[in-house]
Amino acid sequence: MSQLGTLDAGSRHDLRVGISPDAPDESQAPDDGEGLFGYAHSYETASRYDGPGLRVVLFVSGCLLRCSYCHNPDTWHLKDGTYISARQAIDRLKGFASALRALDGGLTISGGEPMVQLAFTRRILAGAKQLGLHTAIETSGFLGDRADERYLSALDLVLLDIKSSNPETYRRVTGRDLAPTLRFAERLATIGKPVWVRFTLVPGFTDDPANVEGIARFVAPMKNVEWVEVQPFHQLGAFKWKAMGLEYKHLDTQSPTPDLINRVLEQFRSAGCRAR
C-alpha cells in the first residue's frame, strides 16, 4: 500500500519519478471502486490553455499509450505519481473556486490519461461540479469505453487528442489501436457532449496531408466539436526521456514551421472545422 503524500503545486514540466514504488501497474489500476484515493503528478493553478477561461489543471498518473513524442513520460506509471486522496484534491480546488468561477474557468484533469483511474477522477470531477466549476478532461479516448453515463455527466468538455486518422500511423506513434478513440469521438457526438479536438503536429510523423485530411473529414460533421486545436511539437519534454533512460526518437525532430502550421490549419478549415 502506498503512503499518502502531499499534493504539491508544480508544473507539467517538472520531472517526478519513483514517488510511490508500491503502486499497482497502470494496466491494473482499480477503476470501479470508490475512487477515494489515486496517484497524481502535480497541478497547475493558472492555465489559460486547457479549456475555457482560467483553469486549474490536475495531472494524474497512468497512461496505456506510449506516444513517441510524449512530453510527460513521468506520468505513464502510477508508481511515479504521489498517492493522494480525492478529498485532498477537492479541498485544494476549493481555495481557487471563486477565482475560477469569476474568470469563467474551472478544472481540467489531464495526465497521463484520466480514465486509467476512472473512479478517482470521477470523484474529483463531481467534487468540482459541486463547487460550481466547469469541468474538462484531456484524453486520448483509448479508454473511452470505460466512461459510463455517470462519468460523462460530470464533464462539461472533453479535450480529445486524435493523434492520427491512419491506424498504422496511430500504432507507430502511440503503440495502440486507433479504433477506440474514433468510437469514443462518435459516442460524444451522438450525445452532443462539447469536444475540443487536439492534434499534435509532429513533422515527419503526423504532418502527412492525407493524415490531416482524414482527421478533418472525420471531425467536420460533428456539431459538438467546438474547436480543433493544432498543437505544435516541441522539445520541452526531451529531458525527461533522457533522465528516465528512455529511448527518444525525436532528438532531431524540429518544431513545425509557421508555414506547415498554416497548411494544417487551412486543411481543417477547408473541411469545415473551426481550427486554431
Q: Which of residues 130-169 bind ligand SF4 (CB under 6 A)?
A: 140
Strands (E), 175-259: 195-201, 225-232
Q: What's the CA gap between 228 and 265, in Å, rounded? A: 9
**Residue 49 phi, psi (nearest 5):** -120, -25
Q: Which of 61, 72, 117, 121 binds ligand SF4 (CB under 6 A)?
A: 72
For the bound state, the minimum distance from the C-beta of residue 155 to ligand SF4, rounded and expressed in Å, comes to: 18
Q: Which stretch binds ligand SF4 (CB under 6 A): 65-73, 81-89, 211-219, 242-250?
A: 65-73
Q: What's the CA gap between 92 and 86, in Å, rounded? A: 10
Is the CB of 75 or the CB of 253 nearer to ligand SF4? 75
Decide: helix, strand or coil at residue 153. Answer: helix
For 54, which DSSP code?
A: S
Is the CB of 135 or the CB of 164 nearer to ligand SF4? 164
Is the CB of 153 or the CB of 255 nearer to ligand SF4? 255
Q: Which of 70, 157, 230, 275 binds ligand SF4 (CB under 6 A)?
A: 70
Q: Does 111 bind ligand SF4 (CB under 6 A)?
A: yes
Q: Does 87 bind ligand SF4 (CB under 6 A)?
A: no
Q: Does 66 bind ligand SF4 (CB under 6 A)?
A: yes
Q: What's the CA gap between 73 and 82, in Å, rounded? A: 15
Binding residues for ligand SF4, how many (CB under 6 A)? 12
Of 122, 120, 177, give the one whose Cα is nearest residue 147.
122
Decide: helix, strand or coil at residue 169. Answer: helix
Binding site for ligand SF4 (CB under 6 A): 63, 65-67, 70, 72, 75, 111-113, 140, 174
